[in-house]
Amino acid sequence: MASNLNKLIASVKKETRHLLRDREAFLLLFVMPLIFVLIISMAMRDTFREQGGVVLPVVIIDNDRDVVGPAVIEAFSSIKAFRVETAVEGNGTTEEDIKADVTAGRHKFAVIIPRGATAGANSAVQRQLRFVRGVDAAQVKVRLIADPQLRSDMRSLAAVSTGRVLQAIENRVLWERFAALAGMKITPEREKEIREILASNRPFAEVVAEDAAARAEQGDLPKPTSVQQSVPAWSLFAVFFLVIPLSVTFIKERQAGCLQRLRSMPVPVWVIMLGKAVPFFIVNQLQLILMLLAGMYIVPLLGGDRLEIGDAPVAIAMVSVAVSFAAVSYGLAVAAYCKTTEQATTFGGASIIIFGALGGIMVPKFIMPPVMQRLAVVSPMSWGLDGYLDIFVRHGSVRDILQEVAGLLVFAAAAGLIAVLRLRRTTR
């Protein structure tokens, strides 16, 4: 046993030397996934904000410059679903500018209040007070210009909310008229009181968009932010992507005759396999640490959210180790079955992409249809991602990730066994 341990140490040393001597390839193992994580985290930020019930940036153009404009701005500002980033006067800003601004994604939609909107509101109230039927609401057209990429449900939310805001303004004017007709004396104190009452006259219900299917599947669990989803997801992808260099190295070793020479020596197969696996496992761990640190410290510098990693470092370590076991074992199995580096690159790469697609790496699972969510169980990346999300988003502990860790370890054991059996068979 001691002799085999020495052989294992020698194998790890050899493989580490081999890895470190191709400096460019070694650096790429870290730099490429890091760039990937940063890009995806930033690119998906707004999409996740929409998903997570966060705010939609809205610009309001007040061409009315009377009562309605400020009232609309105030009303939108009070609704959690929106963030009124700028309210600009119509002067100097053309409609084309507004459209370009919205199309570029700087605002998800724009509300354009036309000239004479206040007069239109007063007119409508007057007609109602005189019991005139058929009030023409279309006399005042408040336009809503939406980002073409805005999802339809979000677009509906914007339209309904705008309608409610306008309705509230109309009600307010109507209420003031009723007060005047009732002959109430408006003292300064009464005026303040009325204003407070009017200020509280907001839409009776807040409109909150939600995805019924996703909530049904996942209960009332919180959804991740962009960085909470992207960092662990694409880190997992990078970890599994080591399947390609690992299997290619292994196959090259076999093609060069080194493996044959080793098998003519008193070296157990497990020593050969572990000798290759250990350095790649260490690389995996370094990758994961780097990606998590990038999510915590680099993404915020670029304007994204900070990655919150929960409060269970042991659980994070357990998931990271299990994920790496699964990836390395899978790489060895691919190496054992593929005859050429071309096969390993193609099969290994394609299978990782499929695992990624199924496992919620490319498309978050909570927006997948239920059938695809159930199918995700075949992907070890799904278990890894669930493990990380349990910790980061749901603030889970070691107990909460045991199932995912067990799944990953079973996958690792199965892939490792397949690799060992295959290697024994092909070299005996």
Partner 1 sequence: MPRMKTSVEAAIELGGLVKTYPGGASPAVAGVDLVVGRGSFFGLLGPNGAGKTTLVSMMCGLLAPDAGRVRIAGLDLAASPDEVKGRIGVVPQDLAVYPSLTPAENLEYFGSMMGLGGSRLGGRVDECLRIARLGPYAQKRAETLSGGLKRRLSLVIGLIHEPEILILDEPTVGIDPQSRLFIFDSLKAMNAAGMTIVYTSHYMEEVECLCRDIAIIDQGRIIAHGGLAEILAASGAGTVEIRAQCAPSEALLRRLGEIDGIRQVSCEGSIIRAASAQPTAAMCEMIRLMEEAGAGILSVSHGVSNLEALFISLTGRGLRE
Of the candidate spans 15-23, 305-313, 360-368, 371-379, the one that interacts with partner 1 by CB under 8 A turns out to be 15-23
Which residue number, 177 or 263, has a Cβ lying nearer to partner 1?
Answer: 263
The CB-of-251 to partner 1 minimum distance in angstroms stands at 13
CA–CA dist 51, 221 (Å, integer): 13
Of the candidate spans 17-25, 79-87, 303-311, 405-413, the one that interacts with partner 1 by CB under 8 A turns out to be 17-25
Which residue number, 22 or 153, has a Cβ lying nearer to partner 1?
Answer: 22
What token pair was written down for 70? 């400020």
Pick from 258, 375, 398, 402: which binds partner 1 (CB under 8 A)?
A: 258
Pick from 5, 10, 208, 317: which binds partner 1 (CB under 8 A)?
A: 10
Q: Counting every residue, how long is the chain?
A: 428
> What is the residue-wise DSSP string for 189-247?
HHHHHHHHHHHT---SS------HHHHHHHTTPPPP-HHHHHHHHHHHHHHHHTHHHHH
The CB-of-336 to partner 1 minimum distance in angstroms stands at 16
Handedness of CA 319, 324, 330, 333 (dihedral sign): negative
CA distances from 324 to 41, 126, 249, 334, 341 (A): 22, 72, 18, 15, 22
Of the candidate spans 2-10, 63-71, 208-216, 341-349, the one that interacts with partner 1 by CB under 8 A turns out to be 2-10
Residue reference for tokens 């005859």: 339
Of the candidate spans 50-58, 114-122, 195-203, 258-266, the one that interacts with partner 1 by CB under 8 A turns out to be 258-266
> Are residues 338 and 344 in contact, defined by beta-carbon separation less than 8 angstroms?
yes
CA–CA dist 393, 391 (Å, integer): 6
Of the candidate spans 12-20, 165-173, 220-228, 348-356, the one that interacts with partner 1 by CB under 8 A turns out to be 12-20
Which residue number, 45 or 254, has a Cβ lying nearer to partner 1?
Answer: 254
Which residue number, 187 or 264, has a Cβ lying nearer to partner 1?
Answer: 264
23 binds partner 1 (CB under 8 A): no
Pick from 260, 340, 346, 403: which binds partner 1 (CB under 8 A)?
A: 260
Q: Which of residues 217-256 bind partner 1 (CB under 8 A)?
A: 253, 255-256
> Are residues 407 and 379 in contact, defined by beta-carbon separation less than 8 angstroms?
no
Letters for 261-280 (x = contact with partner 1 by CB under 8 A, - = none) are xxxxxxx-------------
Letters for 120-159 (x = contact with partner 1 by CB under 8 A, - = none) are ----------------------------------------
Identify which of 42, 27, 20 has the alpha carbon closest to the alpha carbon of residue 234: 42
Pick from 92, 148, 188, 257: which binds partner 1 (CB under 8 A)?
A: 257
Which residue number, 280 or 411, has a Cβ lying nearer to partner 1?
Answer: 280
Pick from 22, 97, 196, 342: which binds partner 1 (CB under 8 A)?
A: 22
| Number of residues counted as binding partner 1 (CB under 8 A) | 26
Pick from 5, 17, 186, 370: which binds partner 1 (CB under 8 A)?
A: 17
Strands 56-62 and 109-113: parallel
Long-range contact pairs involving 259-263 (C-beta distance under 8 Å, separation at least 24): 259/427, 260/427, 263/427
The CB-of-9 to partner 1 minimum distance in angstroms stands at 8
- Within 8 A by CB and 6+ apart from 276, the residues are 11, 15, 246, 249, 250, 332
Q: Which of residues 81-110 bind partner 1 (CB under 8 A)?
A: none
Which residue number, 130 or 428, has a Cβ lying nearer to partner 1?
Answer: 428
Kind and range of the H or E element at 134? none
Sheet holding 109-113, edge to edge: 82-89, 56-62, 109-113, 143-146
Residue numbers of the site for partner 1 (CB under 8 A)?
Answer: 3, 6-7, 10-11, 13-14, 17-18, 21-22, 253, 255-258, 260-267, 427-428
